[in-house]
Amino acid sequence: MSVELSHPDLYRSASGDSVELLGMKCSSCGYVAFPRQRYGCEKCGATGDALKEVELDSTGTLASFATVHMHQAKTIAAPFVVGEVSLDAGPTVRATMVEPTDEAMRIGARVTGRLFPAPAAPDTPANKLELRFSLIGPSGRPEARS
């Protein structure tokens, strides 16, 4: 059974260790956005060839977080933590954290994107990977929590 990405239009991983987000940069004003879109620059309104597709490193700083204790979806086990990450490349994204609780989290902590098995619906094999963010430990590598 092959493993594939849950959202290949949003992110990719060439090495398996690092994850790149598929964003865009406006060549008119320099604004960087995620996800890619062709409607126009959110800052200056430029369109067409001014919007360049870019791969954004998934490393950043934890700007906020919240623990979800109940969720209506049967495929998502609570509790889980949602973080708002200010990427070093510019945009801010919201994503599920690898850490199941917010015990070790603090605003300003360094985080990085990782691919994790996506929750599968009942009677469905788990064969997709999704983007989650994880705290970066003192060694500069993601902390080994799951």
Residue 27: how many CB atoms within 10 A of its CB? 13
Task: Determine the average pLDDT of the residues in 3-13.
Answer: 88
Report the mean per-residue pLDDT for the chain. Answer: 87
Q: Tell me the pLDDT tens digit for each residue of 83-97.
A: 999 999 999 999 999
Q: Quick one: pLDDT at residue 146?
A: 45
Whether pLDDT at 134 is above 60? yes
% of the chain at pLDDT higher than 70: 84
Nearest 5°: phi and psi at 48?
A: 65, -130
Q: What Rg, from alpha-carbon coordinates, does the chain have?
A: 16
Q: Tell me the pLDDT tens digit for each residue of 24-69.
A: 999 999 999 999 998 999 999 999 999 999 999 999 999 999 999 9
Task: Determine the average pLDDT of the residues in 86-114.
Answer: 94
What pLDDT band is residue 123 in, cutting at 50, 70 and 90? low
Distance CA 50, CA 106 (A): 37
- The number of helix segments (H) and strand segments (E) in the chain equals 0, 10
Residue 81: how many CB atoms within 10 A of its CB? 21
Q: What is the DSSP string of 107-131?
A: TT-EEEEEEEEPPPPTTS---EEEE
Q: Quick one: pLDDT at residue 143?
A: 60
